[in-house]
Amino acid sequence: MGMTITEKILAAHAGLERVEPGQLINARVDIALGNDITAPIAIKEFNKAGATKVFDRDKVVLVPDHFAPNKDIQSAEQCKMLREFAREQDLTHYYETGEMGVEHALLPEQGVVLPGDLVIGADSHTCTYGGLGAFATGVGSTDLAAAMITGEAWFKVPESMKFIFKGKLNKWVEGKDLILYTIGDIGVDGALYRAMEICGETIEDMGMAGRMTIANMAIEAGAKNGIIAPDKITEEYVKSRAKRTYKFYQSDPDAKYVDVREYDCAKIEPQIAFPHLPENTKGLSEAVSLNVRIDQAVIGSCTNGRLEDLRVAANVIKGQKVHKYVRLLVIPATQWIYRQAMKEGLFDIFLDAGAAISTPTCGPCLGGHMGILAKGERAIATTNRNFVGRMGHPESEVYLSNPAIAAASAVLGRLASPDELK
């Protein structure tokens, strides 16, 4: 019996010829990631254990992005702890405000994460890097501390599910819609502790932004990881960024999957996830018919804050005005994206429309800052999670969509299709 791409990466990093689902292994990590919320706990545990040096200064990565730029005294103290630890350990990959970005957009952009890597991060959306063909998963802060010391982490090898997407994407449909549709199909626990392997002709034609968006939200189905086999598009993305060797893994033709699902993309329209779960999805036509008023639109996050996303949103909103009683927040995911969007004139389009543009930050996605919702307010966001109180008051609501839908909704002041704009 062959192995899946997930099993092959885990086996290679455990020094084993093969692994089986359910097997417990210790594996070396290529990258151990923490942010300003999770890393302080890990640093405290690191010190408590009596450790003095991280296992590899090139492989421990710290990104203060959640409450940064510092929103209050507590967040300032959190970020200070990262800064001091990075200085003490002389970490290669520490990203200060001014050069940092949303971690899961930043690390692929900087060539820090590469195909075939085993990556752990004290952040649930670490699974983003599966879009590159890496095994990437979120862990707790104590697990991160252990990895910072030893360079290893333990895993139970997950069972794998295969999701095959066929056909051409409909108008306004993106990677975000495919993963929302999938989560709507299987539920938020439909892939619990399983690997979600995404493939098919539709994925083969998709750019890296869409692939990383899909992998990012595997956790919203309960998955251990999401992963897409690397190919020519992956190679084109990483070849100029990589500063070390990498490896492409592929699943064997006879690899075992506990579930295989096929989707005809001709039947998938843009999706909107209604409160308060990512599985609560509705097709755009149904969503629009409900005439749901919004107070805020957010375009950004580790899911949809890339340059491709901003281009789509700008194309929709060009020549339009944001609704009088709606706040449109545009948050480029990294400084490079920010600069490039500015060069391309995208900022002029957003500013002319009445949007506010932010420095890179996770900010409103987790109810941190830069867009907190009041009681009874509704937001449409290109983020990845819409739990109760996720973006502010527990009686507020968050609707998840792709950038085109969020932009159109910002103009019309309700859930809307770009085709409604004149």
Q: What is the pLDDT of residues 45-93, one digit of tens each?
A: 999 999 999 999 999 999 998 998 988 999 999 999 999 999 999 999 9
- pLDDT at residue 1, as a whole number: 80
Regarding whether 304 and 204 lie in a shared domain, the answer is: no
- What gap in Å lies between CA 377 and CA 397, rounded to an integer? 6
- pLDDT at residue 124, as a whole number: 92
Query: Coil, strand, or helix at residue 403?
Result: helix
Question: Which contiguous run of DSSP H or E holds residue 177?
Answer: helix 175-186
Length of the chain: 422
- What gap in Å lies between CA 181 and CA 278, rounded to an integer? 9
The answer to whether residue 422 is domain-embedded is no
The answer to whether residue 18 is domain-embedded is yes
Domain span including residue 312: 271-416
The answer to whether residue 421 is domain-embedded is no
**pTM for the complete prediction?**
0.93
Strands 24-28 and 152-156: antiparallel
Regarding whether 312 and 292 lie in a shared domain, the answer is: yes
The residue from 262, 283, 312 where one domain ends is 262
- pLDDT at residue 223, as a whole number: 96
Regarding whether 187 and 44 lie in a shared domain, the answer is: yes
The answer to whether residue 192 is domain-embedded is yes
- Are the C-beta atoms of 151 and 29 separated by less than 8 Å? yes
118 - beta bridge partners? Answer: 135
- pLDDT at residue 338, as a whole number: 96
Regarding whether 166 and 68 lie in a shared domain, the answer is: yes
- What gap in Å lies between CA 274 and CA 279, rounded to an integer? 8
Regarding whether 203 and 56 lie in a shared domain, the answer is: yes
Percentage helix, strand, coil for the chain under 3-state DSSP, each rounded to 5: 35, 20, 45
CA dihedral 61, 214, 134, 8 (to 10 degrees): 150
DSSP 246-268: -------TTB--SEEEEEEGGG-
Regarding whether 279 and 187 lie in a shared domain, the answer is: no
DSSP 14-64: HT-S---TT-EEEEE-SEEEEETTTHHHHHHHHHHTT--S-S-TTTEEEE-
Regarding whether 245 and 180 lie in a shared domain, the answer is: yes
DSSP class of residue 312 equals H
Side chain identity at 322, as an amino acid letter? V
The residue from 238, 262, 286 where one domain ends is 262
Read off the CATH number of the domain in which 217 is found: 3.30.499.10
How many folded domains does the chain comprise?
A: 2
- pLDDT at residue 217, as a whole number: 96
- pLDDT at residue 368, as a whole number: 86
- pLDDT at residue 367, as a whole number: 86
The answer to whether residue 329 is domain-embedded is yes
- pLDDT at residue 97, as a whole number: 87
The answer to whether residue 340 is domain-embedded is yes
The residue from 262, 297, 331 where one domain ends is 262
Regarding whether 110 and 50 lie in a shared domain, the answer is: yes
- pLDDT at residue 188, as a whole number: 93
The answer to whether residue 171 is domain-embedded is yes
- Are the C-beta atoms of 391 and 295 separated by less than 8 Å? no
CA dihedral 406, 122, 162, 28 (to 10 degrees): 150
Tell me which residues of the chain have a pLDDT lower than 50.
none
- Are the C-beta atoms of 326 and 294 separated by less than 8 Å? yes
Regarding whether 291 and 246 lie in a shared domain, the answer is: no
Regarding whether 282 and 145 lie in a shared domain, the answer is: no
The answer to whether residue 75 is domain-embedded is yes
- Are the C-beta atoms of 281 and 273 separated by less than 8 Å? yes
Residue in the structure block whose two tokens are 């409160």: 275
Regarding whether 175 and 115 lie in a shared domain, the answer is: yes
- What gap in Å lies between CA 170 and CA 114, rounded to an integer? 31
- pLDDT at residue 100, as a whole number: 87
Structure tokens at 7: 């099993």
Regarding whether 250 and 185 lie in a shared domain, the answer is: yes
- What gap in Å lies between CA 294 and CA 371, rounded to an integer? 13
